[in-house]
Structure 1
């Protein structure tokens, strides 16, 4: 075993926020589950990461009860579930030690949000020497309001603002930033078809 699938922040916390209605990838859970199934079938490690913000009084506060995987995703008994308080999955966790101890050299990254926790994890992983595959269609993100936009806008107001960075632009930017530098970009279909292909010889 030299490869691990890292599933980042696919948690109920996000579903409790109004902006969930504008998610870029409504099929995220299905796509992630396909990767998890493929990883298990090939004997790869699956690591689950959850984001916490203790004392924040938000859905990311552990006391909220929402810091848990979205329904439909269930870790196997031997699959690590770690919690983080930083955007990348390494800085505030023992993820690097866990992977190193198991001889993992290749990471497949998926989850929420494409340009934040997923992208930053991919960047840090590459700097640490891991070979990273970024599965964009198994990530999801949300429209980003302009920095000067007032607080408390509804999803409809955010989407209507011409200054808003739309999800298609976010995904494109992330792929351009990562490809050839920090990660190889792949789709769920590409990865699962590789695993399903017969071995010659």
Structure 2
């Protein structure tokens, strides 16, 4: 659910909590990283008739949407920018001040990848100056420590790194592990092998 609004209603703020909200239908979605997770996000976005764009190391012929080699250009053409790429040194602070500035005052950034990809201080500054509309964060750069500026901001939703922690997804992870072990000991190609980038 949308917990802040539920809490507002519980606190008796029904009338003051009915401000207009952005809609997904027909909006422009930018996806940073068109791997397995990025593709799953794209499939769901197509259900809302969203216009899709994506950024990654290279274009994929079978990927939905338009490829943007320039992340800043993708951000400028997005209402929602969802970060779903790998973490690590190569992507540290990939989404920083310039990308957030390009996203603009009506844009939202969502991070479901790794906290290191989104520059926390740049995000705090963008929110403080209304350079973006808001953020949805499942991962934080120095988690579990969360800066007070993010906790206190009314246009930031934070979850404790729980994406992929439903009972069904945990069962799927277990099944993938068991299948990988079985494939390894049978000396056949491992379907879910982890490969170096």
Identify the TM-score tier after normalising by the shorter chain.
0.3 to 0.5
Return the TM-score normalized by structure 1: 0.37
